[in-house]
Structure 1
Amino acid sequence: MILPRLFIPVESATGETRVAASPETVKKFISLGCSVTIERGAGASAGFVDTAYSEAGAELVAPGDSQAWGAADVLLCVQQPSVSALARLRRGALVVGLLAPYSNAELATVLQGGGLSAMALELLPRISRAQAADALSSQANIAGYKAVLLGAGALDRYFPMLMTAAGTVQPARVVVLGAGVAGLQAVATARRLGAVVYVSDIRPAVKEQVESLGARFIDPPDMDDKPAESGGYAKQASDAFLAAQRQQLSDQLAQADVAICTAQVPGRRAPRLISEDMLDRMRPGSVVVDLAVAQGGNCADTEPSRTVDRKGVKLIGANDLPCSVSNHASALYARNLLSLLEPTLQDGQLKLDTDDELIAGCLVAQDGTIRRGDVLTPGGSN
């Protein structure tokens, strides 16, 4: 019997420090009947040395080894490899990772042309059975945590209340926009640092979660078209609702020391929640950390991977925060992949059950046939 051959490459995306397998998950995959090949140096930026992988049972090869790419049954990656790299894979190979599938015509074309299968973790259904494999959540958790640390580091004030001989220092006031995974982790982290936290979200249903963490929920505008959520994600809100919410936020932000922006809608441009007029009301020295900057940004004037000084207000474009906590981000991501693939490894073979809603939800292509044409369209966009 030929064992399923798993392959983990060095990530090629600029600034990417994570890796798709840890020595822990390598050992587990081997116990499940797989062989594992990993490019030398793949885990170096995440604190995983080559010897740890070899001791776990992996075979090490030089980066770009064409024979290793061509022999792989399953390619585990963090971000999509280049088109030229994917072209080295044999027909029928499976690519698993955060593939940015929305309207990714380039990916669709290479999958079709190469006869490849692909599972995009962004499309994993938000159901309880999928939680252990939910890479978006594991990485958003890290982003929410690190966003608060960035905000605290850039702020010209303390976060906690302090009683000193020179007088009392009042706690920082933090406003978190969006109470998803990243937002809730931002709340918890800011509260641990001693800040007073307010949360704005278009979904009234998250109020209980927010208040359980010790934050104060800003009730959304009282309108008939209040958005809810679908499949665990916030639905796109109407322009009228967002305008009313921005007006409501303006007074809150005028008193804020730090604003953490986390509101995103999969496959769509991030809603613009903080306008230039609202920024004008924020005091000099305050900070905005925008986690949605790569999707267009929740805040006006933010730029990816840059800190912009706008009239004394620091705007931090925080688009790659999980990469700044690369060891834990990689360890959690690797476990997500293991949880997703473990049920597919049966009797020493990889079997994709397309009747399983987890597999069906994220399997964008199978042997070159596009299965999720609603998301992934070759030669065009949605």
Structure 2
Amino acid sequence: MSTLFVPRERRPGEARVAATPETVKRLIKEGHAVWVEGGAGDGAHLADAAYEAAGARLVEARAGWEGAELVLKVGPLEPDGEAALLRRGAAVIGLLAPHQNLPMVQTLAARGASALSMELVPRITRAQKMDALSSQASIAGYKAVLLAAAELDKYFPLLMTAAGTVQPARVVVMGAGVAGLQAVATARRLGAVVEVTDIRPAAKEQVLSLGGRFIDLPMQESGEGAGGYAREVSADFLRRQQEIVANHVAAADVVITTALVPGKPAPRLVTKEMVERMRTGAVIVDLAVEQGGNCELSVPGEEVVRHGVKIIGRPNLPSTVPGDASMLYARNVLEVVLHVAKGGTLQLDTADEIVAAMLLTHGGEVLHGPTAEKLKEARAC
């Protein structure tokens, strides 16, 4: 029997939790003992009593970190706090953002921990139920449109009134991944005219199916990366893309940017000059702000007005919908646990395609190549 621990998230603004009473019941049924830190579910309105009713044991943080064989997390571990308390040789599952948390990675490796990063779930059929990036990105895309609608100085839909006709809002979505497509669907439901740009030609069909208009770009270079993710493109291609998209942005009431490249700074898609051309009262929501931002003028954690345009750089939007975000994320984590801890015993088969892709640290080593390279670069500086 493995002992699983679900701690309370300590990252400012993080309201999600890595397990719900629903998933706790399943974990116990599979033969695990589940410990939950008191108050872990408060941000998602999940009471301690609900966890106890599901069969979990409430524990203090230190007891959980030092005693559990497997820890279920939402965000990264504090390198000098949580990671240092982790039982030697234990395992942890979470959205660990390794390229942004190198000290945490070093601590995990030093403690011989096996860290499975949810960002590294491979995009293959067998792993679809584990895909936390998709489940959380969908929520972010939805919430981005609601934020824009709340801040915009006009209606989203076309309205025919006795006082005259109100033209629909024009929305430009940059990036047609999961977040972008959900933004398209939500903005269309609110009645906006939606245009979309993406460096992956395959995205066009999905955009059109949702009622959006695809902004065609010269495609001498594809931005399609491994597993359906975007990849980094050349500076020249990005410049030519910006020139075409700039006119659409200038005419937009709302711009929602969602472009991310795994392990890389977010590509700069909206320049200062593009913002200057937008109308006073327009709104930009930058979903890539935690990785540097797609908009040159975004400020992480702030809403700023530049050249009359409101730019929203609110990080971690999934956490602003903590109930459903926790439900979906907890189910993603459950599927990972069921895969690596069959019969109540943790067994990490490094020959397994999913396990091999997700393993960040194991046996005292950093196994994820890009993270290991960043650590090497950091030591050389």
TM-score tier after normalising by the smaller chain length:
over 0.9
User: What is the CA–CA distance in structure 1 between the aligned matches of 2:28 and 2:375, rounded to whole Å?
Assistant: 38
Equivalent pair of 2:99/2:374 in contact (CA under 8 Å): no
Aligned pair 1:94/2:91, yes or no?
A: yes
Question: Which residue in the other structure is 1:60 paired with?
Answer: 58
User: What is the CA–CA distance in structure 2 between the aligned matches of 1:378 and 1:308, rounded to whole Å?
Assistant: 32
More helix by share: 2
Equivalent pair of 2:173/2:184 in contact (CA under 8 Å): yes
Secondary structure (helix, strand or coil) at the match of 1:176 reads strand
Equivalent pair of 2:23/2:334 in contact (CA under 8 Å): yes
One-letter amino acid of the structure 2 residue matched with residue 213 of structure 1: L
Shift of 1:378: 8.0
Aligned pair 1:313/2:334, yes or no?
A: no
User: For 1:122, which of 119, 141, 148 is the aligned residue?
Assistant: 119
User: What is the CA–CA distance in structure 1 between the aligned matches of 2:316 and 2:64, rounded to whole Å?
Assistant: 29
- Farther-moved stretch of structure 1 (18-27 vs 80-89): 80-89
Aligned pair 1:300/2:296, yes or no?
A: yes
Equivalent pair of 1:105/1:381 in contact (CA under 8 Å): no
User: What is the CA–CA distance in structure 1 between the aligned matches of 2:366 and 2:134, rounded to whole Å?
Assistant: 26
Question: Which residue in the other structure is 2:11 paired with?
Answer: 13
- Where does 1:124-139 land on structure 2 (aligned, <5 Å)? 124-139=121-136
| Percentage of identical aligned residues | 54
Question: Which residue in the other structure is 1:80 paired with?
Answer: 76
Secondary structure (helix, strand or coil) at the match of 1:242 reads helix
- Farther-moved stretch of structure 1 (156-165 vs 309-318): 309-318
Equivalent pair of 1:103/1:380 in contact (CA under 8 Å): no
Question: Which residue in the other structure is 2:251 paired with?
Answer: 255
User: For 1:266, which of 249, 262, 271 is the aligned residue?
Assistant: 262
Give RMSD over aligned pairs: 1.4
Shift of 1:103: 6.2
Shift of 1:69: 1.8
Question: Which residue in the other structure is 2:180 paired with?
Answer: 183
Shift of 1:225: 2.5
- Where does 1:1-382 land on structure 2 (aligned, <5 Å)? 3-62=1-60, 64=61, 66-83=62-79, 84-102=81-99, 104-222=101-219, 224-376=220-372, 379-381=375-377
Shift of 1:208: 0.3
- Farther-moved stretch of structure 1 (96-105 vs 188-197): 96-105
Shift of 1:337: 0.3
Q: Which runs of 5+ in 2 are unaligned?
A: none
Shift of 1:17: 0.8
User: What is the CA–CA distance in structure 1 between the aligned matches of 2:203 and 2:329, rounded to whole Å?
Assistant: 26
Q: After superposition, give the CA deviation of every residue in 1:232-264 in whole Å (9 maximum; x if it has no partner).
A: 211111101110111101110111010000001
One-letter amino acid of the structure 2 residue matched with residue 38 of structure 1: V
Equivalent pair of 2:83/2:104 in contact (CA under 8 Å): no
Secondary structure (helix, strand or coil) at the match of 1:375 reads helix
User: What is the CA–CA distance in structure 1 between the aligned matches of 2:270 and 2:212, rounded to whole Å?
Assistant: 20
Q: TM-score, normalised by structure 2?
A: 0.96
Q: After superposition, give the CA deviation of every residue in 1:303-328 in whole Å (9 maximum; x if it has no partner).
A: 11211111211111032101100111
Secondary structure (helix, strand or coil) at the match of 1:219 reads coil
Equivalent pair of 1:121/1:136 in contact (CA under 8 Å): yes
User: What is the CA–CA distance in structure 2 between the aligned matches of 1:54 and 1:381, rounded to whole Å?
Assistant: 46
Q: After superposition, give the CA deviation of every residue in 1:208-231 in whole Å (9 maximum; x if it has no partner).
A: 000000000001125x23332222
Equivalent pair of 2:74/2:95 in contact (CA under 8 Å): yes
Secondary structure (helix, strand or coil) at the match of 2:262 reads coil
Secondary structure (helix, strand or coil) at the match of 2:202 reads helix
Shift of 1:47: 0.8
Equivalent pair of 2:280/2:308 in contact (CA under 8 Å): yes
One-letter amino acid of the structure 1 residue matched with residue 143 of structure 2: K
One-letter amino acid of the structure 2 residue matched with residue 5 of structure 1: T
User: What is the CA–CA distance in structure 2 between the aligned matches of 1:378 and 1:180, rounded to whole Å?
Assistant: 26
User: What is the CA–CA distance in structure 2 between the aligned matches of 1:253 and 1:75, rounded to whole Å?
Assistant: 44
Residue 204 and residue 21 in structure 1: after superposition, are their counterparts in 2 closer, same or farther (change >3 A)?
A: same
Shift of 1:108: 2.6
Secondary structure (helix, strand or coil) at the match of 1:234 reads coil
Shift of 1:294: 1.3
Aligned residues: 377
Once superposed, which parts of structure 1, at least 4 consecutive aligned residues long, lie more than 4 Å away? none
Secondary structure (helix, strand or coil) at the match of 2:160 reads strand
Q: After superposition, give the CA deviation of every residue in 1:243-287 in whole Å (9 maximum; x if it has no partner).
A: 011110111011101000000101111111111111111000110
User: What is the CA–CA distance in structure 2 between the aligned matches of 1:374 and 1:26, rounded to whole Å?
Assistant: 33
Equivalent pair of 1:307/1:317 in contact (CA under 8 Å): yes
Q: Which runs of 5+ in 1 are unaligned?
A: none
Residue 151 and residue 103 in structure 1: after superposition, are their counterparts in 2 closer, same or farther (change >3 A)?
A: closer
Residue 14 and residue 376 in structure 1: after superposition, are their counterparts in 2 closer, same or farther (change >3 A)?
A: farther
Residue 55 and residue 232 in structure 1: after superposition, are their counterparts in 2 closer, same or farther (change >3 A)?
A: same
User: What is the CA–CA distance in structure 1 between the aligned matches of 2:373 and 2:25, rounded to whole Å?
Assistant: 37
User: What is the CA–CA distance in structure 2 between the aligned matches of 1:95 and 1:41, rounded to whole Å?
Assistant: 20
Equivalent pair of 1:103/1:375 in contact (CA under 8 Å): no
One-letter amino acid of the structure 2 residue matched with residue 26 of structure 1: V
